Structure 1
């Protein structure tokens, strides 16, 4: 029996680790332990509760005004003393590119424990952008024993860095989590959500909007708002726009001032179960989120990406997503085409999701089992 530790600290990591923890926990060949650093305390706890993940080690590292240097040092020290020196592990799983990933990988490396990197091989090509995430990924790749890539492009990135041993393309566990999460929303939860959002007219075509990235602050966000207003006015009897508004004042204040229309519903940010439920209820998703670009195609939802460029070009190339940036005319035109041209909508909605089919966790478990 192999003893494995799943180590993570943020909501996105928890979402992407949840199906892996479930898969390995159900296999008698593995003894599973879960450690959290709690970089995102409240948001992390929501996901842990939803997926019913039992935590064995909770480091709770976050302090007010903590520097990156302090956080990294504290994480390496606490992961080592509070977890890795307390019991022996054969494997440590880390996911993505956070400070927890780098610190966890280094702590495991110092203890000569094999590191399994989930969602390996993503690269921007600029060590300072995103900062410090690009560096975290690059350094983790140098010391990981297994690299599980979401796409062929990620594998090619690692090959360029001469990392070729134990590199596998398996898809992204975020798709596993999405499908697993939707199954957990039973009839009672569905009724509860319909009641909570009873001000939304679900008999109309729902356009779900998320927009919060820094590069869209200011004039770009105003352009996006103007586009949404025009769409709402042109299709007032057909469309309901639902926008969970980010709490950042650069977004919230502008949205509340500009987006005034009967068929635009500004709501508070959604937790994970609410978000995937709302995605499933939507017809079109307009977003600048990275994760949603990966998830929406599995639900057959066309995505308009509110970015000038995206590091997830696989979706654009596969035809599941369209880059519109903050260009008002482009946003309106593509939304109109999706609303009015059923064959165009179908072409995008039925395109194959390059990020996986919901079996990534089982693929990873099978590879680790025979290693």
Structure 2
């Protein structure tokens, strides 16, 4: 069986790497990797982390490109890939433009689509944008839906997806996290060595990430004001790895670049980011992956969103929705600093997203397909 993996962003690479590596061990499965280059700089470091070399590399990005132009390029270039590679099935992950294009181009050529991380929903097409609609569209196309949790499965069932077409697997990011922790070598990782020169163990580290389109503008301005106020506490250290998107990084650099107590750093490779998460007192983020990874590291997450498709973490108590208003961010941080019981309550919970065996379940299913 020839399986084509379509990957466009670093999260996709991180979450599909365990599946690809498992495929490489399975007799009878030939794994081909197509990198669309949607986030090329970050993507290359993710492939390097897992010693993966894409079989096919596309070049779809250009400065100032809109979503429609990106999607049209992806569709036309992936159509050529599908024509040449002739895969038996295509695996896509998550909710990116590359995911949607991979599914739609495959559908047009009558190639079965298998969707990893299926069934996540906010049911609000504007949040996250455009990811919510992307994943709903992929669910109409996919032949098989690999749902991370039972809640994700129930969401798909409510949309009329057959129970026979859904496999609950756990989230593959937990596989990736465990693999990364097992092979981590801080003493030989230049990014970690550099972080060790910044990190102050005697202070409580607030790790911050942000990249969502719906937070650009007013949301990030609120975050900036909150971080300024929090940085005035000498017992805290704030480290913020910046996203490559100029609309995200430039306002942060202009507003916070010279603020004492705040370290704006370049985006990190996965191993270095996992190391930094492990050192954090808490994490302030709008990231999906962080919501899934942090519980395994016993780190509370204050989520810079009004709603989330990852409700399991909210229900488990490992993630708290706080939105983007300055007052809510500052209050959320101070509460966890001052209330030890509240902090412990968020950190001593099992991870609801799996046991590190999701990739094996997915590949076992692929191997069973005739």
Q: Could you say whether these structures have the same fold, taking a TM-score greater than 0.5 normalized by the shorter chain as the test? A: yes
- What CA distance in whole angstroms lies between the structure 2 residues aligned with 1:116 and 1:223? 39
- What CA distance in whole angstroms lies between the structure 1 residues aligned with 2:65 and 2:227? 38
Indicate the residue corresponding to 1:18 in structure 2: 17
**2:135 equivalent to 1:137:** yes
Q: CA deviation at 1:166?
A: 1.5
Indicate the residue corresponding to 1:34 in structure 2: 33
Give the TM-score taking structure 1 as reference length. 0.87
**2:280 equivalent to 1:282:** yes
Indicate the residue corresponding to 2:265 in structure 1: 267
Q: Deviations over 1:306-363 (max 9, x none)?
A: 2233332221111001122234444344333423443332221121222222221112
Q: Do 2:37 and 2:61's aligned partners in 1 also have CA atoms closer than 8 Å?
A: yes
- What CA distance in whole angstroms lies between the structure 2 residues aligned with 1:192 and 1:71? 31
Indicate the residue corresponding to 1:255 in structure 2: 256
Q: Do 2:129 and 2:213's aligned partners in 1 also have CA atoms closer than 8 Å?
A: no
Q: CA deviation at 1:190?
A: 5.2
What pairs with 1:89-238 in structure 2 (closer than 5 Å)?
89-127=87-125, 129-164=127-162, 165-189=164-188, 193-217=192-216, 220-234=219-233, 236=234, 238=235
Larger radius of gyration between Structure 1 and Structure 2: 1
- What CA distance in whole angstroms lies between the structure 2 residues aligned with 1:71 and 1:330? 36
Q: Secondary structure at the match of 1:86?
A: helix
Q: Do 1:34 and 1:57's aligned partners in 2 also have CA atoms closer than 8 Å?
A: yes
In structure 2, relative to structure 1, the CA distance for the partners of 1:253 and 1:191 (3 Å cut) is closer
Indicate the residue corresponding to 1:54 in structure 2: 53
Q: CA deviation at 1:197?
A: 3.9
Indicate the residue corresponding to 1:3 in structure 2: 2
Q: Do 2:128 and 2:212's aligned partners in 1 also have CA atoms closer than 8 Å?
A: no
Indicate the residue corresponding to 2:239 in structure 1: 242
Indicate the residue corresponding to 2:82 in structure 1: 84
Q: CA deviation at 1:180?
A: 1.9
Q: CA deviation at 1:196?
A: 4.6
Q: CA deviation at 1:232?
A: 4.1
What pairs with 1:257-336 in structure 2 (closer than 5 Å)?
260-261=259-260, 263-336=261-334
In structure 2, relative to structure 1, the CA distance for the partners of 1:245 and 1:32 (3 Å cut) is closer
Q: CA deviation at 1:28?
A: 1.6
Structure 2: any 5+ residue segments left out of the alignment? none
- What CA distance in whole angstroms lies between the structure 1 residues aligned with 2:83 and 2:43? 25
In structure 2, relative to structure 1, the CA distance for the partners of 1:118 and 1:43 (3 Å cut) is same
Q: CA deviation at 1:98?
A: 2.2
Give the TM-score taking structure 2 as reference length. 0.87
Structure 1: any 5+ residue segments left out of the alignment? none
Q: CA deviation at 1:265?
A: 2.8
